[in-house]
Structure 1
Amino acid sequence: MTTTTRRQVLATTGLAGLAGALPAPAFAARAVAGKPDLFVGTGGHGHTFPGPSMPFGMVQLGPDTDNKRWDACSGYHRTDTSIMGFSHTHLSGTGIGDMLDVLVVPTTGPLQLQPGPLDNPDAGYRQRFSEEHAEPGYYRVKLESGVLAELTVTERTGQHRYRFPAGPGHILIDFAHMILDVWDKGTLVDEASLALSPDGLLTGSRRVHRWAKGRRIHFAMRMSRQPDRVQFFGDSDAPAAAGATGVTGNKLKVAFFFDEAGGAPIEIKTGISAVDVDGAKAALAAEAPGWRFDATRKAAARAWTKELDCVKVSGGTEAQRTIMASALYHSFVSPTLFTDRDGRYVGLDRQVHSVPAGEKAYSAYSLWDTYRALHPLLTIVRPEVATLLTRDLIRQTAQSPYGPPIWPLQGVETGTMTGWHAVSVLAEAKAKGIEADYAAAWPMIRRRAFDRTLKDADSTLGRGFYYDLGYVPADKIWESVSRTQEYAYDDWAMAVLADAVGAGDDAAALRQRSRNYRNVIDPSIGFARPRFADGKWWTPYDPIQLGHNPEKYRDYTEANGWQATFLNQHDIYGMIDLFGGDDNYVRKLDAFFTAPSTLPRNAPPDITGLVGQYAHGNEPDQHAAYLYAYAGAPWKTQAMVRRLCVEMYKADPDGVIGNDDCGQMSAWFVLSALGFYPVDPVSAIYVFGSPLFDTAEVEVGKGRRLRVRAIGNAPNAPYVQSVRWNGRPWTKNWISHADLIRGGELEFTMGTAPSRFGMAVADRPPSFGRGAGQGPSA
């Protein structure tokens, strides 16, 4: 270890200024579940939404303030000043938009059929708003028309309650409403229909060609009061014939008019389904049989209380406890339920399937993001959910023409990002003992691993080059460097699954091939570097740039050369060997975190939260702070993790430094604040960092609890001095999942100066099936 002073260490990590700025933690406080702030992440680039949903629920109801710009991917942004209406489906934290199905617009005055622009609410049906309030399972807002809007949900139904002022009013159902983008071309909605039955049930279906191209949504809706008249509108807002009880076309709407909208509230309940209208009707009948808004709200609140009780903390600041609860909440929003009441769902083959009794199908798997921390978190705090997701991904793997899912949304494989990281989730589940029929998924996994004829999505381009050259060439395929590295990690995961089904030869081949990541690391300069088909490297190389031809190509996926250099997660000691040993690797990491925080003009907005060239606001290197632990400098991990927990998250709308990505950013915080993180989820181990709270009590399944204590914790004391596990000294700088989920007490003693804890070669985390100091793999 190089001798250094505490002042030098704090200066290089940014903790020097923080030490005097934060209050000392409370002592001996009782660990409690925090209260989430649902507006955290709704500003900045967080892309979350504040509307109500059930944990992992199908209906995600909420206000829509915009449907056009990138920061409105969720349909909502905290800085907007008007609300278009309330739709029943949203995406939480994504960098691409879709959904916003079945918009409900309660208002007064003349009927307007277009929302109007964001900067001129008076030009359409938009309404300014005030008195906005959100809590798990409930949302309320006062609209400028005088309407008080309240929302709550069950798993498959959205329930609205509107209190109108005295006088006439109307409710518009805009079934043409959706996320829009400047790049959209052609027909975005087709095969749409609306129909009103004699008993007042409104039903509708449509097909949407936005991100998940060809997805279908069906709904069934009832209102608690009979309207005085109804008007349907077809394409181009053409009114249907007087007395019409339905309309077909592409972009449809219907308005319900009330001569006296005041008095008793008008309640609306809506069931949805991706299968058919019957599925939506069944949801409505079973989950919303009467007009019980308040009872539904209380049931939703109880469900969320039960979920959020799984992690309780004490210590830290009040804001940090709010951040923790909010992060936990956002970790339980996605993936979203995708089975109807009878177990039917739409598979990735676009066919209708049924799950076995007790199983569920899910949608909105942001796997490029969530395999890193969200799925590992669920294996700890919600193992029963992790089991359902594992079995669902096995079914989807078997059904998809692409094999292991990439980014499935509403029964459509979007093929978004690079790699096919469902295999990481499955391999992690297998390594952690989750019972499932992995053999059922293996044929399609093996095809993805070896068969050149298997259909490619954008995510999987260049596999032939990868097989033949050992890397994806930059002059042939875009994002070539990241593809090579991501494919190598998936090889590592697939090797675990091959072993699980007895395919030993395949496992050996995949394990060897998983070292292909080295073929885009140029050891002569110590960077991930674009390489061409003839074997030559891109020159002159600039690690700040996104690619060798910035006007045409990106050679990295939402990253540059600096960030891609540390993308490898599964063979850390192999990386250390490439860099020439521990000291060189530590120096390279230091340079990474202290380099000038400059980006090229063509950098995507996803690269945010810079510390040097490390970008916490995006996923490729979110494990990088933990890499010091493998090179004998765990105290640098501890200082940097504490800094990231403090600097990158706030208890306000701009409180998530980048897209939350279906809970990944939030799950990083939850795990890191607890004091450990899965650098390589497939290895089923966690590397120690720096616990943020004095105590944390964590449910780990089967009635067992894990208690994490940080003795001597303080804002200027991020350094682990020693660890005890269930009362006994623990020298390893990591812990296995198998140990952790047995429950017990993990006790950290913290200090203001680095210690030698975890530095010994024997105590460093294992990687690529070997411990530290064992030399290169064959």
Structure 2
Amino acid sequence: MITRRTFLQRASAACAISTLPASKLAHAAHGQTAEDPLRWVDLRIGTGGHGHCFPGAAMPFGAVQLSPDTFNDGWDWCSGYHISDDSIMGFSHTHLSGTGCGDLLDFLVMAGTGPAHLIAGDRKNPDAGYRSRFDHADEHSEPGYYSVILKDYKVHVELTATERAGIHRYTFPASEQAYLIVDLQHGYGAGDGTGPGLVNAAELRQPAPDTLAGGRRTAAWGNDRHSNFTMQFSKKPERIVFYSDNQEVAAPASGTDLTGKNLKAVLYFKTKANEAILVKTGFSGVSPEGAAKNLTAEIPAWNFDQVRTAARNAWRRQLSKIQVQTANETHKRIFYTSLYHMSLGPALFDDVDGQYRGMDNEVHTLPAGQRNFTTFSLWDTFRAAHPTYTLIEPERVPQFVNTLIRMAEQSPDGMPVWPLMGRETGTMTGYHSAAVISEACNKGFTGVDWEKAYGLMMKRAMVDDYRGLGYYRKLHFIPADKEEESVSKTFEYCYDDWSIAHVARKLGKTSDAAMLTQRSTNYRNYFDSSVAFMRPKLEDGSWTTPFNPIDLGHSTKWRDYTESNAWQTTFGVQHDVAGLIQLFGGKDPFVTKLDGLFSAPSTLPANAPPDIAGLVGQYAHGNEPSHHIAYLYVYAGVPHKTQGRIRSLLETMYAAEPDGLQGNEDVGQMSAWYVLSSLGFYPVDPVSGVYIIGSPLFERATVELGGGKKLEIEVRRKDPAHQYVQAFSLNGKPQQRTWFRHEDIAQGGKLVLEMGPEPSATLGADASSLPPSLTL
């Protein structure tokens, strides 16, 4: 009998370092230098609380995310993993990072010994299925690699990935009954495998003695979503048993498919002590044949360590795009983990031969040199993640934009809202693909057909009968008695109008630009001066009653605000802050009201969703509509209030712990807020290309802008606690303002910030130094 001590000898180094602090984990394993950014990434952050992050292996913006699944249902398991669990169902190839809805978890593989189970079993009773207990002390995560020990089977599991494929290494004990199960029914929302699950149809075949292939269509968040795989095994199994609806069936004949909704295969092996069996899996949204091409191109050999090294090097290049200097290791750990998280999506969604599945569910071929992406959490990421990409991902930005344009052309739903692997989920309000496209246009990116983009955006803005837009165009507001979440939808449409106006101006369509700019002020129709809040209106123009600013809606029929209330939505204006200030009667009453947001009781109604988290008064940092609000003080001439508040949020809303995120990660937006804010600036109005100065955490930072261009940030202060900007210079020129434009640094630049313990009475206070509002 193999003992735990004997079994662990092969992996003793990895297991020993798994107990070290995360900051030293990768350093100890690979002899990295102190400046290697991989040293500071802690993949446990966001795997607890409501962060919805996964700890497994992926490449930057890659199609495959090979990670453990501890549960496949429930809100806190949208990524398939939660650190509170102590058993693992298996390891699947696709995962969502930080989303508020769940899907994916495609093509689970699980290793075991002894009699094979066909269902995962319950977390409370892992022995009832193929689950296995594990200890977090036996886990090791780093960018591009994950490992764990399955305690019940004494199997050491290692995972790594390329862009479109993953490779597993399972080190078994001596066993006459070692096995791998491949479960095509497993997925988010599929339950324990005893019910019907969410698979519409699946196919499974055996192209070769050491190969399985197939695909499935699922109906979770993305309805009728297609996914396909080809999977090879380094050792020919003794036998393979196929199952449909958990009943053994004959193996599919050569060239044919086993079909059904609940398909599984169990591959049996005889193993020696410490024998490794490798599994290579190619993934495709097109076909199993496409998955095979991806696998052949990206993992041609049985060399796990080579793939792991390539992934680690790719992440080192990615995370080195921003270099920060500070003595505060906690800040550095949070920063580089944030940069990691916001480099997981959007995710690649094409094959090596250029084929991809479009939003019409048909297979298309990309133009030469193009790439296709998915997983655009646009309602979240247009605010800070995509603006960050315009700085550090200049080559990817046109690829993202062209993807969104193709989606708008091909999708029966028009402009993308929240696209997921060829399906439109329609999640959240607005259509902020317009904001992402327009920001890239306004910032001068090339390689995009802006006329085509403009036509598609204008169809949505001017023609489509979409979620209250008819009322918005006719009444200049959306009535609360006719459309749910009417106030928030109007605010979102205002920003989308503002976004499209920039493209109109760039294309010389001045009358369209003026019309859209004027229409972008429709939000003003909700301001009730008697209560100084944005208040829902009925179709006849009267205010809804009763009104309580903490309520999400005026009745139980539906909400009037999207994951927010009147407190947060009242400050939800990003492009016309000067106009918002005028509604309050000037800067002083506006600042008083804004102070009140942060000092109000943090009381929420019973029907408030858990997304409204990270409360400071009624400010909710855990949800994206609040993310720009602390920067609004700059528009009122009191930038020191922004600086103090931002420093507080940086210190209190993020922690280097599994539950260190307030709210969901949301495919990079929570992290992007931290990345930009800790550097010292933030885009309140992303499309305009204006950045607002906040309060930097680091003494120095260098942002690689591509093409050899760099943005250098130097922070001068005598004490790290000094949070107030005393002086600001841009490219060697002293400034009286506390903002700058993208064009000021796009070709390289330097920011110098001098900090002190007390607010500056003059910097940014004069009316001439205020940021622009409603200016194209």
Question: Over residues 65-104 of structure 1, what are the superposed CA-to-partner deviations in whole Å (9 max), with x where a residue is unaligned?
Answer: 0111100000001111111000000000000000000000
Q: Tell me the equivalent position of 1:687.
A: 692
Secondary structure, aligned partner of 1:630 = helix
Greater shift, 189-198 or 672-681, is seen at 189-198
TM-superposed deviation, 1:401: 2.3
Q: Tell me the equivalent position of 1:289.
A: 300
Q: Tell me the equivalent position of 2:435.
A: 424
* Paired residues of 2:359 and 2:423 also in contact (CA < 8 A): yes
TM-superposed deviation, 1:540: 2.6
**2:54 pairs with 1:49:** yes
Q: Tell me the equivalent position of 2:472.
A: 466
Among 240, 249, 271, the alignment partner of 1:240 is: 249
**Aligned residues between the structures:** 733
Q: Tell me the equivalent position of 1:6.
A: none
Greater shift, 600-609 or 34-43, is seen at 34-43
Q: Tell me the equivalent position of 1:154.
A: 162
How do residues 4-153 of structure 1 correspond to structure 2 at under 5 angstroms?
33=37, 35-130=40-135, 131-144=138-151, 145-153=153-161
Q: Tell me the equivalent position of 2:528.
A: 522
Q: Tell me the equivalent position of 1:169.
A: 178
Question: What amino acid sits opposite 2:481 in the alignment?
Answer: D
What is the CA–CA distance in structure 1 between the aligned matches of 2:572 and 2:346, rounded to whole Å?
25
**2:563 pairs with 1:555:** no
What is the CA–CA distance in structure 2 between the aligned matches of 1:559 and 1:674, rounded to whole Å?
28
Secondary structure, aligned partner of 1:380 = helix
* Paired residues of 1:694 and 1:713 also in contact (CA < 8 A): no
Among 617, 620, 623, the alignment partner of 1:612 is: 617
TM-superposed deviation, 1:124: 1.3
Secondary structure, aligned partner of 1:208 = strand
TM-superposed deviation, 1:244: 6.5
Secondary structure, aligned partner of 1:700 = strand
Question: What amino acid sits opposite 2:227 in the alignment?
Answer: I
Among 460, 464, 467, the alignment partner of 1:448 is: 460
Structure-2 change in CA distance of 1:201 and 1:242 (3 Å): closer
Q: Tell me the equivalent position of 1:511.
A: 517
Q: Tell me the equivalent position of 1:496.
A: 502
| Structure of higher RCO (CA pairs closer than 8 Å, 6+ residues apart) | 1
Question: What amino acid sits opposite 1:207 in the alignment?
Answer: R
* Paired residues of 2:190 and 2:198 also in contact (CA < 8 A): no
Structure-2 change in CA distance of 1:69 and 1:709 (3 Å): same
What is the CA–CA distance in structure 1 between the aligned matches of 2:231 and 2:132, rounded to whole Å?
23
TM-superposed deviation, 1:442: 2.2
TM-superposed deviation, 1:666: 0.2
Secondary structure, aligned partner of 1:202 = strand
Question: Which consecutive unaligned segments of at least 5 residues does structure 2 have?
Answer: 1-32
Q: Considering only aligned residues, what root-mean-square deviation do their CA atoms show, in Å?
A: 1.8
* Paired residues of 1:484 and 1:520 also in contact (CA < 8 A): no
Greater shift, 603-612 or 190-199, is seen at 190-199
How do residues 702-713 of structure 1 correspond to structure 2 at under 5 angstroms?
702-712=707-717
Secondary structure, aligned partner of 2:134 = strand
Among 340, 343, 367, the alignment partner of 2:354 is: 343
State, as a whole percentage, how many aligned pairs show the same letter.
50
What is the CA–CA distance in structure 1 between the aligned matches of 2:730 and 2:252, rounded to whole Å?
73
Q: Tell me the equivalent position of 1:675.
A: 680
TM-superposed deviation, 1:31: 7.3
TM-superposed deviation, 1:697: 1.3
Secondary structure, aligned partner of 1:620 = helix
Question: Over residues 370-427 of structure 1, what are the superposed CA-to-partner deviations in whole Å (9 max), with x where a residue is unaligned?
Answer: 0000000011112112222122212222222222210000001111100000000011
Among 576, 581, 586, the alignment partner of 1:576 is: 581
Among 388, 392, 398, the alignment partner of 1:377 is: 388
* Paired residues of 1:83 and 1:127 also in contact (CA < 8 A): yes
Q: Structure 2 length as normaliser, TM-score?
A: 0.92
Structure-2 change in CA distance of 1:243 and 1:615 (3 Å): closer
Question: Which consecutive unaligned segments of at least 5 residues does structure 1 have?
Answer: 1-28, 771-778
**2:643 pairs with 1:638:** yes
What is the CA–CA distance in structure 2 between the aligned matches of 1:189 and 1:181, rounded to whole Å?
8
Q: Tell me the equivalent position of 2:667.
A: 662
TM-superposed deviation, 1:452: 3.9
What is the CA–CA distance in structure 1 between the aligned matches of 2:35 and 2:302, rounded to whole Å?
38
Secondary structure, aligned partner of 1:628 = helix
* Paired residues of 1:95 and 1:659 also in contact (CA < 8 A): yes
TM-superposed deviation, 1:703: 0.7
Question: What amino acid sits opposite 2:169 in the alignment?
Answer: R
Q: Tell me the equivalent position of 2:226.
A: 216
Secondary structure, aligned partner of 1:748 = strand
Among 478, 481, 484, the alignment partner of 2:487 is: 481
* Paired residues of 2:200 and 2:224 also in contact (CA < 8 A): no
